[in-house]
Structure 1
Amino acid sequence: MTSSPALLKQTLRREALQLRRGESARLGVAASLALAARADALEVGPQTIVGGYWPLPGEVDPRPLMATLAARGASLALPMVTAPDAPLIFRAWCPGDPLESGPHGTFHPAAAAPLLSPTLVLVPLLAFDAKGFRLGFGGGYYDRTLDALRRGGGVVAAGLAFAAQQSPALPSEPWDQPLDMVFTEEGLLTVVRA
């Protein structure tokens, strides 16, 4: 008897969360700085709007990378949850801007901050594979968001992870939105789709 993708994902989430905690304790700040030092791997310019995230405990901290990309002319935005089954929205953010607390332990810019549509989304994750599939917490926020952004035009989805978070293969379901690339402390993995 085979497990459904949803049940398999639940088991993998527990294992991946534990692995990520260990990698964060071992590499945390060094990994975040390594991403910033390799920012040239990401093509950004004055027209780029980077949708980052405020890190939860254990996630790769994107803030050093975001600061480097902003210094190269990119605009920054952070996501905001508006409803449990809705895509995330992104509001303009600059380092030092005040943040408000959101659901699930997140932080986002104030409602007065302008809405932006990212052209590059930095995506947190628990695990990833070479096909670009990722395992998140299961809320579907990034799948809905990437689907909406892809329907609205061009967007690049870059997962941020510790290299050890790579899995040989992850289960996928029809609504799962694959990443275009994954950026780790060891470098950039570009996804090649068949």
Structure 2
Amino acid sequence: MDIAAEKKRLRALALGRRAAMGEAGRAAASRAAASHALAAAGAVQGRAVALFAPFRDEIDTAPLADALREAGAILALPVIIARDQPLLFRRWDQDTPLVPTGAFRIPEPGPEAPEIIPELLLVPLAAFDRRGFRIGYGAGFYDRTLALLRAQRPVRAIGFAFACQEVDQVPVETHDEPVDMMVTDIEAWAVGPRA
């Protein structure tokens, strides 16, 4: 099997389903997923939690950000340093100005925001399977970041997406880092231990 071609096919399939939800459907599903994610995260008081700024029609993290702040979490957002580097995370307080950055103009905190090493990461994705493997958007940022963080200390990664983005099986390459848990608008579940 040509893994790259199969990932491309599955990515297009899942993203097509996501787009077909429509704006109102995505908004309602994002609120439902936030409720599941808050329960799955457990006690977050004083813990560093990394979210992501949604891109195009990704699941909206704003409802979850509000709930996490209310629960006392310290929030962070990813910052792209360079194409082949892991992400770094900067603190994201409610009044932190976000600057659209990079080719895709994804909002991120500026260099004045302190760097944070998260204990819990909400990971964006295009497609996922029940084993916790995900297909991102092709640049490998989260695979590199998770590999680095996991080599340094325990960290929990939660895939955060709409249920319609699930596929039967994601083809796996050696560099692919699975998530520890998946949260959708329908349910949350822990995945098996990594091999």
Q: TM-score range by the shorter chain?
A: over 0.9
AA aligned to 1:34 is: A
- Alpha-carbon shift at residue 154 of structure 1 (Å): 1.1
> Corresponding residue for 1:46?
45
1:176 aligned to 2:179? no
Structure 1 residue 48 displacement after superposition? 1.5
Amino acid at match of 2:111: A
**Alignment partner of 1:163 is 2:151:** no
Relative contact order (alpha carbons < 8 A, sep ≥ 6): 1 or 2 greater?
2
Gaps of 5+ in 2: none
- Say which of 3, 15, 34 aligns to 1:5: 3
Q: Which moved more, 1:162-171 or 1:40-49?
A: 40-49
The equivalent of 1:192 in structure 2 is 192
Q: How far apart, in 2, do the equivalents of 1:140 and 1:186 lie?
A: 27
Q: Distance in 1 between matches of 2:128 and 2:139?
A: 16
Alpha-carbon shift at residue 92 of structure 1 (Å): 0.2
**In structure 2, do the counterparts of structure 1 residues 187 and 24 end up closer, same or farther at CA, with 3 Å as the change threshold?**
farther
| 8 Å CA contact retained: 1:92, 1:109 | yes
Query: Corresponding residue for 1:118?
Result: 118
Secondary structure at the residue paired with 1:96? coil
Q: Which residue of 1 aligns with 2:62?
A: 63
Cα distance in 1 for residues equivalent to 2:43 and 2:117: 15
Question: What are the within-5 Å matches in structure 2 for residues 27-176 of structure 1?
Answer: 27-38=25-36, 39-103=38-102, 104-176=104-176
Please, which runs of 5 or more residues in structure 1 have no aligned partner?
none
Q: How far apart, in 1, do the equivalents of 2:22 and 2:153 lie?
A: 34
Identical-pair percentage: 40
TM-score by length of 1: 0.93
How many residue pairs align between the two structures?
192
TM-score by length of 2: 0.93
CA contact (8 A) 1:93 1:113 kept: yes
Contact 1:44 1:69 (8 Å CA) reproduced: no
